Chains A and B, each alone.
Chain A
Amino acid sequence: MRRLDDKGAVIDRAKPLNFTFDGKPYQGFAGDTLASALMANGVRIVGRSFKYHRPRGFWGAWVDDPNAIMSVTLNGIELPNCLATTTYLENGMEARAVNAWPTAKHDIKGGLDLFHRFLGAGFYYKTFIWPDWHLFEPMIRKMAGLGAVTPDHLDEFHSDQIHDHCDTLIIGGGASGLTAARVAAEAGQNVVLVDDQAQPGGSSYQTGTIADTAAADWIAAQMAAIKTAGGRVLHQTTAYGVYDHGLIACVENGAFGTAPRLWRIRAGRAVLATGAIDRPLTFAGNDKPGVMSLFASAEYLVRYGVLASDNAVVLANHSMAKEAVATLTAAGMAITQIDPDTPGLKAGGWQVTNGISVSGRHHPSDVVLATSGLTPLVHLWRHAGGKLTWDDARQAFLPDGQLSNMQAIGAANGTFDLNHALDEAQAAGLGQSHPRQDTSHHLTPVWPKPGSKGRQWIDFQHDVTLKDIEVAARENYVSVEHLKRYTTLGMASDQGKTSNMAGLAAMATLKGATIPEIGTTTFRPPFVPIPLEVYHGAKTKQLYHPVKRLVLEARHRDADAALCEYGGWLRPGWYGNGAAADHIRDEAMTARTTAGILDGSPLGKIEVMGPDAEAFVNFVFYNTMTTLKPGHIRYGFLLTEGGIVYDDGVVSRIDNDRFLISCSSSHVDGVRSLLENWRQDGNNPDRIFIHDLTMQWATITVTGPKARDILNGLDLDADVSADALPHMRFIETHHQGHPLRIARVSFSGDLSFELSIPSRHAPNLWDKVTAVAGTMDAHPIGIEAMSILRAEKGYIMVGKDTDGETMPQDVGFGIPRRKKTNAFVGDRSLHTDKANVPSRKVLVGLSVPHGEPPLVTGAHVVTDGANQRSLGYVTSSYHSPFLSRAIALGMIEGAVERVGDEVTVWHDGSNRRARIVSPCFLDPNGERLHA
């Protein structure tokens, strides 16, 4: 293998680049791929196969190579799964073969090849059943995978997300694509041409002249004309998938290690000019390094100036090989041609091939250049829903019929004659169809011969041999989709680009059927491996799901709040540095002895108004709302139609036709859509209006024995005495001239006021409340303390103390179910057999002896006796500083009948005893609540 001085259209010899492969230093040129640079340096073994760790050399020169997968490091960034044939060389690259340790040439796992009898077709299926998958699992896991990612590099791996559109998208920049793009652009269309290489032209460099012009000059002239006519060209950009409604996804690669750019292109129409790839021949030893594609070796020569060898055996069954053979011969390669249909063909050599043996005669050569025809790249055509037809003359599946938004031309369409391809491209550029012409080439089919001798490779990357296909056929995995999964044929990272046709043909012979009768497997995106990271763009971490921020956040930060995410909001969990448990305990005590100030702003504030508002609120709520008077507040549940508790909250009636729904902070978006749903689908939307004011109003909750004293210290023009403002009432007043709503509701079980004010005026009110509170030893408290307070009182948190089966009667609210006469959401579901069984899980308290630690949340209450069975579980559990004991809530089967009983609580292998009690541990008579 050597570099020729007078060839190599895309390399820049003025820019030498240094790199290493498996630790050894080499030199290449700008414009080289890792593969062409390695070939120029005479490196023949570049990887190992996945299963048997057989040595692998280059088969292809671009995306169709199944063998040369490398892990590449540059400037401290390591990327796995780099195909050497499509990775452009950069100075300082360190490449390492994957699946090979310590190097591709000397692989200690190479011995696996001796066990090939165990790793044959169906290995995974069979070992899952017998003898025991776990015997093999550690070894398989260690072998699997194609390299490692530098994880910290991913932090900056943000792909640009570009949405674009055009009249005509040309996919592929070979002779056909360039011609179509030029014609379309010159006809005034908005054209985008995507080409996956750095230098367009496709395989045109192999054609000496096009339209009587040297290929390189012709390519340059087309590019210039396209740009002059206003066409856009995206280099190193692969169209890898066609999705619904004509979306074509393209990925644009930049310098090594940079995140590729994702283009989502909507085109009026697409022209598929993706070309065709060479097809391997199936013969004994055909996987040995040195056996390579004839067209790829011509491509290495014309693009990169690399001659694969000075002597070669060519195995070709068609007339298209002629031009490539002539090109290689002219460059100095001595070629012996052998008929690939000769029985007993065998590639000799130990690690790399040393030529072809046939009929007792050895033809020595360093490389064997094989081709059995061209396979059009119809992947995108199939993604778009296009059909295929089998063509006997070409022995290939070709695009069939019409698609309204895609047209295939050139080699992708099976049009291998250049003059025919250019005619097609001309027509396609103008949006005209062009009938496919008969090919001038001759091809004698040469397909795998089942039953013939020697190990013959079908899938080079996944080590699927002809024998494996025979085993699959014998065991009746004959459908192509079964064949693929049973043998793993075509399931490697090349997705069967080189192996599928040979596999189908082998199965056809085994079944005595034709290739089109066997059919193809489904073509699915992506056409080439795409890093999953391209999809998220900048949308990661905080930006993936931005938290909602409190208007008082700065105040909380000044007070050393520990800000955590609760239901999508960034809220104070507690205040102060140091041990969280101490702060939480102190805050819970403060709220019971003086008062706690809580930022309750995330509490839902959804207004429902209009002439039908009363009937609507009454319908969406479980509890009767028609009897609610203006100025009053009522607690209620929102159910699903299945009767399951979806959310709880309080409803304030502001006026006859105006209600305020205060749902849980984490459910606001869900509740709003649920309300909108019922408003528009089932009601007259002109008589009901829904307005979510959650963000526009802030709420400051003052709770505790001193709460009223604090309000009295705010100089409000309002009477908040127990007589004027009893529990579950609200008043509207002002603070410094701004509207203020004072609601007497309580989530702590103590005297509590919720002060709601337009958000921009909240900081003033917060400052004043905390200043007055400070004079009474009352302080801000976080969500964690509030969670303890509400559990002491036995108040539930929906989603924590309830689950996907909880109905309102299970948590102590059975009256509307029996008494409410109007229809309401979920009503009928509350009277099914299941809703009536006595074994439903119901809300109870669980009490442990004084001095014992709290139960574990999630611990199961179990039956006593031999066959332990879960009766339910602990949903909330805390140490209550005010009660000086552990408290817990739980959902337990049939527990209403069992209050007072002792039960066993199981967790992680150990049992404890607890007593079923009322969930209300504090102030059962409501004296504190109504104070």
Chain B
Amino acid sequence: MQIFPCPFCGPRDEREFHFAGEAGKTRPDTTGEVSPDDWATYLHMHRNEKGRTREVWVHTPCAEMFIMERNSVTMEVLGTECLRAKS
């Protein structure tokens, strides 16, 4: 079982966390024209990187979302930071 460091609560067991998505995805402005391809990319295309990844996670007990960088091969956690600092 992995230990993830919540930026608000510190290191906690992985079972307290939920994956929310890959970081850096921007919702298209749907008040304008959005092509079917662009929308499908937004909905379904994920980078699913091998190695260094940047993801959004939620720590369920405190309900805060944050960015976590980790290695998807070695499972090493490379760092976490608040989401809002980046938004």
| Chain A residues engaging chain B, CB cutoff 8 angstroms | 243-245, 247, 264, 266, 385, 641-642, 673, 676-677, 680-682, 684-685, 821-824, 827-829, 832-833
Q: Is the CB of A827 within 8 A of B2?
A: no
Q: Is the CB of A681 within 8 A of B43?
A: no
Q: Is the CB of B3 within 8 A of A245?
A: yes
Q: Is the CB of A682 within 8 A of B36?
A: no
Determine the chain A residues whose CB is within 8 A of the CB of B29 once the complex forms: 823
Determine the chain A residues whose CB is within 8 A of the CB of B27 once the complex forms: 682
Contact of B83 among A244, A641, A681 (CB under 8 A): A681
Residue of B with least CB distance to A692: B63
Q: Is the CB of A685 within 8 A of B1?
A: no
Q: For residue B78, give the distance in angstroms from its CB to the closest CB of chain A.
A: 13
State in angstroms the CA–CA spacing of A245 and B31 once bound together: 45
Q: For residue B21, give the distance in angstroms from its CB to the closest CB of chain A.
A: 8
Residue of A with least CB distance to B21: A681
Q: Is the CB of B39 within 8 A of A821?
A: no
Determine the chain A residues whose CB is within 8 A of the CB of B39 once the complex forms: 828-829, 832
B65 within 8 A of A: yes
Q: Is the CB of A828 within 8 A of B34?
A: yes
Q: Is the CB of A827 within 8 A of B30?
A: yes
Q: For residue A672, give the distance in angstroms from its CB to the closest CB of chain B.
A: 8
Q: Is the CB of A828 within 8 A of B65?
A: no
State in angstroms the CA–CA spacing of A385 and B73 once bound together: 11
State in angstroms the CA–CA spacing of A251 and B20 once bound together: 34
State in angstroms the CA–CA spacing of A829 and B36 once bound together: 9
Contact of A680 among B30, B36, B77, B83 (CB under 8 A): B83
Determine the chain B residues whose CB is within 8 A of the CB of A676 once the complex forms: 58, 63, 65
A-B contact pairs, 10 of them (CB 8 A): A243-B1, A244-B2, A673-B18, A676-B63, A677-B20, A677-B65, A681-B20, A681-B21, A823-B31, A832-B36
What number of A-B contacts does a CB cutoff of 8 Å give?
56
State in angstroms the CA–CA spacing of A641 and B83 once bound together: 21
State in angstroms the CA–CA spacing of A208 and B81 once bound together: 59
B28 within 8 A of A: yes
Q: Is the CB of B1 within 8 A of A245?
A: yes
Q: For residue A768, give the distance in angstroms from its CB to the closest CB of chain B.
A: 37
Q: Is the CB of A685 within 8 A of B84?
A: yes
Max chain B CB contacts within 10 Å: which of A247, A266, A681? A681
Q: For residue B61, give the distance in angstroms from its CB to the closest CB of chain A.
A: 12
Residue of B with least CB distance to A682: B27
Q: Is the CB of B64 within 8 A of A244?
A: no
Q: Mark B2-42, 1 if CB is under 8 A from A, else 0.
A: 11000000000010001011000001111100101001001
State in angstroms the CA–CA spacing of A895 and B39 once bound together: 29
State in angstroms the CA–CA spacing of A681 and B30 once bound together: 17
Contact of B75 among A245, A266, A677, A822 (CB under 8 A): A245
B87 within 8 A of A: yes
Q: Is the CB of B1 within 8 A of A822?
A: no
State in angstroms the CA–CA spacing of A684 and B84 once bound together: 8
State in angstroms the CA–CA spacing of A822 and B43 once bound together: 19
State in angstroms the CA–CA spacing of A828 and B18 once bound together: 26
State in angstroms the CA–CA spacing of A245 and B20 once bound together: 21
Q: For residue A875, give the distance in angstroms from its CB to the closest CB of chain B.
A: 26
The 8 closest A-B pairs by CB, nearest first: A680-B65, A823-B30, A244-B2, A244-B75, A828-B39, A827-B30, A828-B30, A245-B2
Contact of B31 among A266, A681, A822 (CB under 8 A): A822
B68 within 8 A of A: no
Determine the chain B residues whose CB is within 8 A of the CB of A266 once the complex forms: 3
Determine the chain A residues whose CB is within 8 A of the CB of B84 once the complex forms: 680, 685
Residue of A with least CB distance to B44: A642
State in angstroms the CA–CA spacing of A244 and B3 once bound together: 9
Determine the chain A residues whose CB is within 8 A of the CB of B77 once the complex forms: 245
Determine the chain B residues whose CB is within 8 A of the CB of A823 once the complex forms: 29-31
Determine the chain B residues whose CB is within 8 A of the CB of A641 once the complex forms: 42-43
State in angstroms the CA–CA spacing of A827 and B31 once bound together: 9
Determine the chain A residues whose CB is within 8 A of the CB of B75 once the complex forms: 244-245
Residue of B with least CB distance to A163: B13
Residue of A with least CB distance to B13: A163
Determine the chain B residues whose CB is within 8 A of the CB of A243 once the complex forms: 1
State in angstroms the CA–CA spacing of A239 and B83 once bound together: 39
State in angstroms the CA–CA spacing of A681 and B65 once bound together: 8
Q: For residue A412, give the distance in angstroms from its CB to the closest CB of chain B.
A: 23
State in angstroms the CA–CA spacing of A832 and B29 once bound together: 16
Determine the chain A residues whose CB is within 8 A of the CB of B56 once the complex forms: 681
Q: For residue B10, give the distance in angstroms from its CB to the closest CB of chain A.
A: 15
Q: Is the CB of A677 within 8 A of B58?
A: yes
Determine the chain A residues whose CB is within 8 A of the CB of B28 once the complex forms: 828
Max chain B CB contacts within 10 Å: which of A264, A684, A685? A685
Q: For residue B39, give the distance in angstroms from its CB to the closest CB of chain A.
A: 5
Q: Is the CB of B87 within 8 A of A681?
A: yes
Given A264-B1, A266-B3, A821-B31, 14 other A-B residues pairs in contact with their CB atoms under 8 A:
A243-B1, A244-B2, A244-B14, A247-B1, A641-B42, A677-B65, A680-B64, A681-B20, A681-B65, A681-B83, A828-B30, A828-B34, A829-B39, A833-B36
Q: Mark B47-66, 1 if CB is under 8 A from A, else 0.
A: 00000000010100001110
Q: For residue B9, give the distance in angstroms from its CB to the closest CB of chain A.
A: 15
Q: For residue B66, give the distance in angstroms from its CB to the closest CB of chain A.
A: 9
Q: For residue A460, give the distance in angstroms from its CB to the closest CB of chain B.
A: 35
Residue of B with least CB distance to A832: B36
Determine the chain B residues whose CB is within 8 A of the CB of A833 once the complex forms: 36
State in angstroms the CA–CA spacing of A244 and B29 once bound together: 40
